[in-house]
């Protein structure tokens, strides 16, 4: 049996608001949906689709799983998230490969903005090596 990554489901109280945030941030249009739900992407996209599922309970505590969103410039990415209604947690990690900043979407779900440095085009993490 072959297993495949199908998508990621995000619980949210205001499905339309959270989906609009992620749609704008990732430049992905909503696809076919079911009442009360929103899907970003369709099958068979090359990227897993994001599914926004309505829940009654607010988010409590830290996420145990989060998305990493690669950006070309970390400061521009932070500004974009804030303009869309997201926020910065204050947690930042700088390393040889790049920089990671932990953010929150409009309902407080944590995710990371990641800027990868292209200091070595042959390194497995460089954009050139991934092209």
Residues 6+ apart with CB under 8 A from 25: 69, 80, 81, 84, 86
DSSP bridge partners of 19:
none
pTM of the model: 0.81
**Domain 66-131 in CATH 3.90.105.10:** no
**pLDDT at residue 77, rounded to an integer:** 97
**Burial label, 50 (beta-carbon count in 10 A; 0-12, 13-18, 19+):** buried
What totals of helices (H) and strands (E) does the chain contain, helices first? 3, 7
Residues 35-71: tens digit of each pLDDT = 889 999 877 766 788 999 999 998 888 888 899 999 9
1-58 and 66-131: identical CATH topology: yes
Q: At 95, list the tokens.
A: 């390393």
Q: How far apart are CA 111 and CA 57, in angstroms?
A: 20
In CATH, what number does 1-58 get? Answer: 3.10.180.10
Q: What is the pLDDT along the chain (131 residues), one digit of tens a residue?
A: 787 778 899 999 999 999 999 999 999 988 877 888 999 987 776 678 899 999 999 888 888 889 999 999 999 999 999 999 999 999 999 999 999 999 999 999 999 999 999 766 555 544 555 55
């Amino acid at each position: 049996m072959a297993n495949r990554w199908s998508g990621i489901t995000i619980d949210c109280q205001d499905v339309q608001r959270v989906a609009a945030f992620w749609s704008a941030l990732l430049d992905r249009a909503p696809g076919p949906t079911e009442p009360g739900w929103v899907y970003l992407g369709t099958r068979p996209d090359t990227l897993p689709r994001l599914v926004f599922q309505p829940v009654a309970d607010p988010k409590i505590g830290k996420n145990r799983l989060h998305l990493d969103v690669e950006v070309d410039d970390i400061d521009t990415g932070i500004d974009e998230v804030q303009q869309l209604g997201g926020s910065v947690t204050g947690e930042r990690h700088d390393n040889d490969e790049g920089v990671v900043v932990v953010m929150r979407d409009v309902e407080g779900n944590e995710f990371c903005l990641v800027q990868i440095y292209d200091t070595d085009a042959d390194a497995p993490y460089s954009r050139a090596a991934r092209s």
